[in-house]
Amino acid sequence: MKVFKFGGASVKDAIGVKNILKVLKNEGFENTLIVISAMGKMTNAFEKIVTAYCQKSKDLNQHINYTKNYHLTITTELFNSKKHLIDTEIETLFGHLSGFLITNKSTDYNYIYDQIVGFGELLSTKIISFYLNENNIPNNWIDVRDFIKTDANYRDAKVDWEKTITTIQRLDKNKLFITQGFLGQSSNKNTTTLGREGSDYSAAIFAYCLNAQSLTIWKDVEGVLNADPRYFENTQLLEQISYNEAIEMAFYGASVIHPKTLKPLENKNIPLYVRSFDNLKNVGTTVSKGHYLVPEVSCFILKQQQILVSISAKDFSFMVESNLSDIFKVLHTFKLKVNLIQNSALSFSVCIEDKFNNFTQFLNEISLNYTITYFENVVLYTIRHATENAIKKIEQKGETLLKQSTQGTVQLVIK
């Protein structure tokens, strides 16, 4: 069985949906499971609904209507009839959303987030399933929450692999299935999410549980590049990457492949293909077993909106194990993701990511016992297979606040 995954950029409009039809006709669609993200920037749009709801904003209905009209505009372009059955499905899903907004009693932002944001994936997969059925590609729409089981750690749920394997292996491998990325379900039947950009991981979970022959991620770029073309010129296609190299790149923040995606594939030696849905003749990038990077070039990864924090003891004593234990405990408490660590005798520096907006609370807590200096909105650059020219290229982008080098990987924090 094959697993395909289409991201938000792949299905941002009616043309994108029609591209899926083109891909399936070219590649074949028997014995295939397709994982699909929310359309375009709809996850961002649903996040605005979450914010408006939690803040009791007057803009709530405006945000809801925007998301609804976005999807209805796409269905109008895809289906000939003015009033189509898919429109009823969309109304039903927005009815469920309204029902949650009315009946919810929880004030837990992360719980509310997961119950609302997942509607983006439910809508996209319903639309695409209907469209494929009407174009002679019969398929089975399934709710991923019936298959991927997780704990109740909202917005960053952990997969219950034992339950998930059991449920997924019940699927008939001879059929074509359409399902959602990003989502799971806790033991109390609440919707959970696997972390932002988690649809790749969802696809890898299915591939692992189904013992798939391959996983293909279809994107709007030709494959995995040595740098993000939005920020770097003259990027190069990486034709072959080992699992280990891809895991390293994902760990440091390469956006093409989600960090959690690769390990399940490596464990069962399932090849990952990253291909362009615009040019089906190109083979793209293959990620598989081995120790190689083809071509051997420097790879650039950047993470924006970072915070560089330097921590030292108020009595100027050495930063030893007991201090570091305290610091990491507070970092963990406030769910701050650490992307770089540098230690010296008198200070401990971390480059962190504040995706849960807890930095102020962290700062208040840590400042009780330590002296703190910090720089907000800095950029963390990581260079794999770094050369002197590659390092100079990054150093020209601004003031270097911190630089660290280990075994051919150089990281720089730039202001």
Q: What is the CATH number of the domain that holds 100?
A: 3.40.1160.10
Considering the domain boundaries, does residue 332 fall inside one?
Answer: yes
Considering the domain boundaries, does residue 308 fall inside one?
Answer: yes
Considering the domain boundaries, does residue 271 fall inside one?
Answer: no
pLDDT at 317: 87
Report the side by side order of strands in the sheet with 299-313.
337-343, 348-353, 299-313, 370-384, 409-414, 400-406
241, two tokens: 């990457």
pLDDT at 247: 86
Stated pTM of the model: 0.86
- Tell which of 182, 202, 220 closes a domain: 220
Proportion of the chain above pLDDT 70, given as a percent: 100
34/177 same-domain check:
yes
| pLDDT, tens digit (0-9, with 9 covering 90-100), for 135-170 | 999 999 999 999 999 999 999 999 999 999 999 999
Question: Domain span at residue 371?
Answer: 299-414
The mean pLDDT of the chain is 94
pLDDT at 50: 98
Considering the domain boundaries, does residue 227 fall inside one?
Answer: no
| pLDDT, tens digit (0-9, with 9 covering 90-100), for 340-378 | 999 988 899 999 999 889 999 999 999 999 999 999 999
Distances (CA, A) of 162 to 2, 146, 148, 166, 260: 22, 14, 10, 6, 17
Considering the domain boundaries, does residue 166 fall inside one?
Answer: yes
97, two tokens: 């959303």
198/317 same-domain check:
no
Considering the domain boundaries, does residue 24 fall inside one?
Answer: yes
- Tell which of 203, 220, 237 closes a domain: 220
- Tell which of 194, 220, 246 closes a domain: 220
Considering the domain boundaries, does residue 282 fall inside one?
Answer: no
Considering the domain boundaries, does residue 87 fall inside one?
Answer: yes
164/31 same-domain check:
yes
Residue 97 has pLDDT above 90, yes or no: yes
Residue 65 has pLDDT above 90, yes or no: yes
